[in-house]
Structure 1
């Protein structure tokens, strides 16, 4: 695999996230950097294919957005709905099936097999790397993950997930169970 390419500026990501900055509130910087890290990993898996870059950036901006827009622990479907509605509303022309699939399957435990596998699998692997804080590497070298994490600091993103599980679920344990049942796919 080639050296990981870190883009410090992604205008499309910034434009899309700006629409939801108020909804995300104090969690904005943590989520923004989570998006940048996952986009970086996904684009690495896709060998920096610029043709799919807008779809990757869009899918990963929206992949967890339902946590804030719908205040839901089972946030995959709400996240998909917001992404698909904005795709139509703003006339982006992104393939709705691929956009939906990248969001829907990003917490799948085992590799995704099916239509649009290359893109969906890149998003899935990228999110697993970041949600595990690099303990799951999916073939990316530890040093590369450290570079990405240094470029885009965590800003408490993983703590945010625990806090939201508690806030929306009533306790961290109950929220954790609801999250697991609501978003993990086999």
Structure 2
């Protein structure tokens, strides 16, 4: 009976020593990253981050990297964004391993976002409906009418015979609605001042 206890104790000591040796041979950065994040991080390349940043420029790069560390797949991260509309932000422990760097964040942004494409998008957004539908001449020619803005939009449009006539009728109704909205806005501004 004493020999069995000695064998069990010797076996336990050998297992303990073997585990101690094998765990210390792991790289300390991997062990601390897994311990810090709570999961074993997958390999993430800058190309993976850039791919998702190109598709979803409004998602912060730290959120993208954190999700890629968890999933290891661009497709899974993209599907999460499409399903949820966002990626969860990383915990504070993430920033101990991957500190924020302003230069790296700008480098992570695609070159397209830094180029003139952004300025053209802003110019398009500043375009008014009057400019978009070429109503400048009608606005300049229109004097304050006695008709209220409600009178411009209340009539029903008749169904036209051809597609061209229907399209022209639709354009005219859009123009009337835009001009009526402009008149309402000007009336509100006059009341406010």
The two structures have a TM-score, normalised by structure 2, of 0.26
Which of structures 1 and 2 has the larger relative contact order (alpha carbons within 8 angstroms, sep 6+)? 1
Higher helix content, 1 or 2: 2
The two structures have a TM-score, normalised by structure 1, of 0.26
Larger Rg: 2
